Chain A
Amino acid sequence: MKALKRLLQISWRNVFRNKRRSILTLMILVLGSSGLIVIGGFFENIMEGYREQFIHSQSGHLQVNRTGYFKKGASAPLDYMMPNAEQVRREIEGEPHVTFTVPRLKFGGLASTDNASIAVLAVGTDAVAEHKMGLAKAANDDNPSTNIIAGNDLDPKDTHGVLLGKGLSEALGVKPGDHVTFLTTRQAGAMDGAEMRVRGIFETIAKDFDDHAMKMNLATAQQLLDTPNQVHSFLVLLDQTTNTDLVQANLKSKFLASNSQLETLSWEEQGLFYRQSKEMLMKIYSTIQLIICVIFVFSIANTINMALFERIREFGTMMAIGNGRGTIFMTIFSEAGILGLLGSALGITIGIGLAHLISAIGIEMPPPPQSSAGYYAMITVTPKLVAQTFGISMLATMISSFFPALRATRFRIVQALGYV
Chain B
Amino acid sequence: MEILEAMEVSKDYTMGKTHVQALKGLNLTIHSGEMVCIMGPSGSGKSTLLNLLGLLDTPSSGQILLQGKATQNLPYKESAQMRSRFLGFIFQSFNLFPVLNAFENIEYPLLFHPLTRKERRDRVWGALSDVQLREVALHRPDELSGGQRQRVAIARALVTHPLLILADEPTANLDSESAENIMTVMQRLNQSRKTTFVFSTHDPRVVHHASRIVKITDGVIQHEGTQATVTNILEKRLSQ
Which residues of A are interface residues toward B (Cβ below 8 A)? 2-3, 6, 10, 13-14, 17, 313-314, 316-317, 319-325, 412-414, 417
Contacts and interface: CB of A to CB of B under 8 A. Distances in A.
Given A321-B83, A321-B108, A413 B56 contact: yes
A103 to B, nearest CB: 72
- Most chain A beta carbons < 10 A, residue from B54, B89, B111: B111
A322 B99 CA distance: 19
A323 B88 CA distance: 13
Contact of B97 (A10, A316, A319, A414): A10
A278 B56 CA distance: 59
B97 A314 contact: yes
B51 A323 contact: no
Interface in B83-100: 83-85, 88-89, 91, 93, 95, 97-100
B95 A2 contact: no
Label chain B's interface by main secondary structure: helix
Given A320-B54, A320-B89, A6 B99 contact: no
A317 B100 contact: no
Contacts of A6: 104, 107-108, 111
B117 interface: yes
17 contacts: A2-B117, A10-B99, A10-B100, A320-B54, A321-B83, A321-B84, A322-B83, A322-B84, A322-B109, A322-B112, A323-B84, A324-B76, A325-B77, A413-B57, A414-B51, A414-B56, A414-B57
Contacts of A17: 98-99
Label chain A's interface by main secondary structure: helix
Given A321-B84, A414-B51, A313 B56 contact: no
A323 B51 CA distance: 16
Contacts of B117: 2
Contacts of A413: 51, 56-57
- Most chain B beta carbons < 10 A, residue from A10, A313, A413: A413
A414 B100 CA distance: 23
Nearest to A17: B99
A324 B83 CA distance: 11
B81 interface: yes
B80 interface: yes
A324 B56 contact: no
Contact of B91 (A10, A317, A319, A324): A317
